Structure 1
């Protein structure tokens, strides 16, 4: 399952990669309560689903975060759009038909990213 949103901020891939590290996740997304520790490419967060290891990777167009120990294999990417006028938020899980409550929480997570990016970088 996947969900998308567009944050109306013009950020390049380079800006996303340089400014969106694990250390700032809680500042940019209300669904992430706090960062417990981080070392650049890996860390631990407490979020709306509980406490999870998080990994960060730069990719073409932006950055990807993943919760490798999450039973649903949740991951999200933040990438520049082709026209450069927005940031695409793309969140996926490894389930085709999750519980409705979980779908709602993912939609909240994606929306919190949209709001947070627009607040932090708008």
Structure 2
């Protein structure tokens, strides 16, 4: 299953990488209660709905990806900019490895992304958001017609 939210923030992938990290997630997202020390699977994180899990972070094109390696649903989400469907916004994209799930889990996953969106819009201050956006050299050109 896939979940999307779009935060109305003009920024760069570098700024996302500098500001959105495991340690700052509780500041941006009220669904994440606390972050603790690292263990073998990753940083320990406490989700409001699900409890204690591990969380990993990696840089990707456009921003960052978070994954929960001990989640039975393989929950992961990305925080990116510069790519479709809205290159001028922050795109939040969540996935799980199921075609369907119970309503409670779906609502909790939607709440995770919705509160992250709200927290980013309320707390993500950006020089780019004041009309000083940098060029987006990391946008991938469509090379299909050049073959």
TM-score (norm 1): 0.91
Residues 44-101 of structure 1: CA deviation (Å, up to 9, x unaligned)? 1000211011000000001000000001000000000436531000000011110111
Residue 90 of structure 1 corresponds to which residue in structure 2?
93
- Larger mean Cα displacement after TM superposition, 61-70 or 16-25: 16-25
User: Paired residues, what number?
Assistant: 120
Aligned to 2:30: 30
Root mean square deviation, CA, Å: 1.6
Contact 1:35 1:45 in 2 (8 A): yes
Q: Highest Rg: 1 or 2?
A: 2
Residue aligning to 1:114: 117
Aligned to 1:72: 73
> Matches of 1:116 and 1:34 in 2, distance apart?
15
Q: Given the two structures, how large is their TM-score scaled by the length of structure 2?
A: 0.77
Stretches of 4+ aligned residues off by more than 3 angstroms: 81-84
Distance in structure 2 (CA, Å) of the matches to 1:81 and 1:91 = 17
Structure 1, unaligned runs of 5 or more? none
1:100 corresponds, among 100, 103, 123, to 103
> How far apart in 1 are the matches of 2:124 and 2:26?
14
- The structure with more strand, counted as a fraction of residues: 1
The whole-number CA distance in structure 2 between the counterparts of 1:10 and 1:36 is 30
